[in-house]
Amino acid sequence: MRPTVFLFLFLFWHCLLLQAQYGKGFRSPQKMACEETDKRHQELEMVLERVKSMQKTQPQKQLDKSAIRFRWPLEWIFQDQDTARSFFGLSNYMDHNLSFSSIRDFNCGTRTYNTSQYNHKGTDIYLWPAWWKTMDAEEVNVVAAAKGVLVYKNDGNFDRHCAFNNSQWNVVYLLHADSLVTWYGHLKKNTVTQKQPGDTIAEGEYLGKVGSSGNSTGPHLHFEVYDSGSLVDPYAGTCNPGRPSLWKKQHPYFNQDLIRSFCATGEPLFPPCPVSENLKEDSLFEATDSVYLTNYYRDLKNGDTTQLLLFDPSNQRIDSIFEVHNLGSDPFWDAGGWFWWFPPSYFTQSGRYQFVSRYRGEEMKASFWLGGNPVRSQKAKRYSFSISVLKEGEVLVHGVTGKEKYQVFDINHHEISSRWSFENGKVHLQKQGLPGFFLIRIESKNGPVYLKSIW
């Protein structure tokens, strides 16, 4: 073979190998925001009048301002520390600049916004990744930031808004012992607490589910705080002088983290609002399948790095990839992700592979099985079933009628004992047995469907 031909072939296969591991970034196509309306302003005035009346008839014990500190007002039902570390991003802080010509948050930055009529007066916390999917699965509770009394609530309003509007929202207002009032807006329809005004609410008590009701562009919680009728920012910073943080543990201004890592069958799909996202998460692959390792980040900064380590079924490290995240002209992404593509020829033996992602001194793991599984997932579009894991041993199957037959199998297609209950288009399934990979067989009118996941 001529040297030039050999060099060409070497470079050709070397380029293919590099292409087999390429990384590609993507960011949230939707910016979670909300805008104050005249209706909301009137509602607030009504609530503050109720607060004054309650304080006269049911005097609250006056405490030093340092006595009240807020916990985070969201609580995640599903937690798997190996593959999922968090569930939210933060799109907007409170705007401290009273002029509409510019914006300024508590840290003297610009992570906020205003309109021609109103400044942004609260903190916007959204679900990430897959805000609509997570909202539909009801995986995140809105909870009381501190002990208080329910002042006012509203429910029953449409909860899938995608743009600014003048509609009513679903909301809860709480009064705390030191004259602080907190409110929790944009809640999901028909999920608001059953407690009534005047009832005591414990710290961390359930208030509702995250939604997109009222003047909202997507599923998020609008958290706002008042002190004796005056708006306050719970965050302490250079541009919010003279007030200590109202948080028990104030998150960093850039709360950077790798929050989710898993394998997938392709690039994630983010359809137009309000259609649920398809992250294409999967854990079982055949020898003819490509594998996509997908990582989701919060506050990813330009120039950040991730190291990937790949281990084969014998736990031998077979590859190491060092990715420098290039965000182009953007200094950071409050919600972003990265995936790495591996072709079918990349993996040479059957068994369990594991990716280890190292980001900012922390590790997250993602596993998948190659070959050996006797059942393949049906991917026909006519099937609308989906699955979400609540916790170890419990899952929800969505899109069912309650008339289907369900069977659960392990990785070797051995049937596993299980029990389930049906309610509102979901099956609550509890598996009896050890954690691990599993398949759910659903006998539907269109034939059997298999869903795959991991406990």
Residue-wise pLDDT tens digits, 401-430: 777 777 777 655 667 766 666 665 566 666
Helix (H, G, I), strand (E, B) or coil at 37: coil
Closest CA to 137 of 206, 214, 74, 76: 76
DSSP 338-349: EEEEE-GGG--S
Residue 398 pLDDT: 72
Q: Is the pTM of this model over 0.75?
A: yes
Q: Which fold has domain 38-232?
A: Glucose Permease (Domain IIA) (2.70.70)
Q: How many CA atoms lie within 13 A of 349 on its CB side?
A: 10
**Residue labelled with tokens 């390429």:** 22
Do residues 168 and 212 lie in contact, with contact meaning Cβ atoms separated by under 8 Å? no
Separation of alpha carbons 297 and 300, rounded Å? 6
Prior bond of 129 cis (ω within 30°): yes
Separation of alpha carbons 107 and 379, rounded Å? 47
Domain at 256-370: CATH code: 2.60.40.1930
Residue 12 pLDDT: 41
Q: Where are the domains of the chain?
A: 38-232, 256-370, 386-454
The string of pLDDT tens digits covering residues 91-143 is 999 999 988 889 999 999 999 998 767 788 999 999 999 999 899 888 899 99
Structure tokens at 363: 């590790």
**Residue labelled with tokens 């002190």:** 227
The answer to whether 38-232 and 386-454 have equal CATH topology is no
- For domain 386-454, the CATH superfamily is Immunoglobulins (2.60.40.10)
Residue 30 pLDDT: 72
Phi, psi dihedrals of residue 211, rounded to the nearest 5°? -145, -165
**Residue labelled with tokens 């579009």:** 381
Model confidence at 361: pLDDT above 70: yes
The string of pLDDT tens digits covering residues 437-448 is 677 777 766 666
Q: What is the band of 40 on the pLDDT scale with cuts at 50, 70, 90?
A: confident
Residue 425 pLDDT: 58
The two most distant CA atoms of the chain are separated, in Å, by: 96
